Amino acid sequence: MAAKKILFVNQEINPYLPANEISSLGKSLPQSLHGKGYEVRTFMPKFGAVNERRNQLHEVIRLSGLNIEINDNDHPLILKVASMQPARIQVYFIDNDDYFTKEDSDIDVFGSDREDNDERAIYFARGTMETVKKLRWEPEIVQVSGWISALTPIYLRQMTANEGLFKDSKIIYCVEPHNPQMALIDTELVRKLKEDGIPAEFADKFIPDFEAKLPPIPESVESDKESVSDDSSESVPEADSVALADEASVVVSEGEESAESPAPKPVNVNVLHKMAIDCAQGVVFLTDQPDPELLAFVEEKGLPYITKDKAQKGKPEFVEFYNKILEA
């Protein structure tokens, strides 16, 4: 019987980033499977904290050079590879100076507090998918972990679903513990996804999730807006408009929000998780207590899932889970 192919798309893997429960699982699970009925390949971002010399990374010229356009800007794809010992598993690193170079202001090794996290996630998802296509390596299972990997299921299912390479791939999404210091995502993500070819009927259905989690606008600001609306013949002075924008995150002009530049609507990372889960065939909760909102979403969709206590048992539980999803 031919070995089943599993593509792991991880946010962190030990020893490339410091050891913890998540990064250690990113190493131990692929190693426990590779060569034992499974063929494994792994992708992760080449964060600035990854030591290239110590971990013997080298660039693969034939897989590099593709320009990935995001928000009207080109970003060249740099692909590096290393061999994870002792199983000698190929680990592919998606690199780009614009998105993954370490910055002094980064609050952690991922740069979780950066304002361009939506574009970083888009870049990583597209870079991973384009590289796998170049490798012509067709996985039966794609297992995705971490917020920066969360858009991978969307691109795989919404943009490549009809391509032979991924047509039959089953997606498993792993929900990792929430980082409270992570920068908020806003509705600009929806616009960028649609500009990138993600169908509007998919992207737009998550807009209510953004709107439902908006911080309430102070009553004083609401009354200011209403008074402006009552007399639409009088334009709002520029200084007053800016003041309102600072206080309520909206730009008021003649009683209406500007149609040309709507204010971003911030929301927590659960929207990314729900987008990924919507494209998945199974879910793994790697948190001590699954988020009630996400658990309800998974159960509403009727998706099989396992929780952290089972995931920590490693290979036996995951093999059973993989077989259940492949047979569905």
One-character DSSP codes across 138-154: --SEEEEESGGGTTHHH
Residues in the chain predicted with pLDDT less than 70, given as ranges, are 1, 160-164, 211-267
Residue 50's pLDDT is what?
96
Q: How remote is the C-alpha of 172 from its chain's centroid?
A: 13
Of 73, 113, 81, the C-alpha closest to 97 is 73
On average, the pLDDT of the chain sits at 84
pLDDT at 228: 44
The DSSP string of 48-115 is TTS-TTTTT-EE-GGG---EEEETTEEEE-EEEEEEETTTTEEEEEEE-HHHHS--TT-SSTT-TT-T
pLDDT value at position 213?
59
What per-residue confidence (pLDDT) applies to 85? 87
Going from the N-terminus, what domains does the chain have, and what CATH number goes with each? 4-207+267-327 (3.40.50.2000), 215-257 (no CATH)
Check residue 86 and give its pLDDT: 87
pLDDT at site 162? 62
Q: Give rounded-to-5 percent helix, strand, coil for the chain.
A: 40, 20, 40
Contacts 24+ apart (CB under 8 A), 82-87: 82/16, 82/55, 82/56, 82/57, 82/58, 83/56, 84/13, 84/27, 84/30, 84/31, 84/42, 86/31, 87/30, 87/31, 87/34, 87/35
pLDDT of residue 312: 87
Cα 208 from Cα 210, distance rounded (Å) = 5
> What's the confidence (pLDDT) of residue 252?
38
CA–CA distance, 82 with 16 (Å, rounded to integer): 10
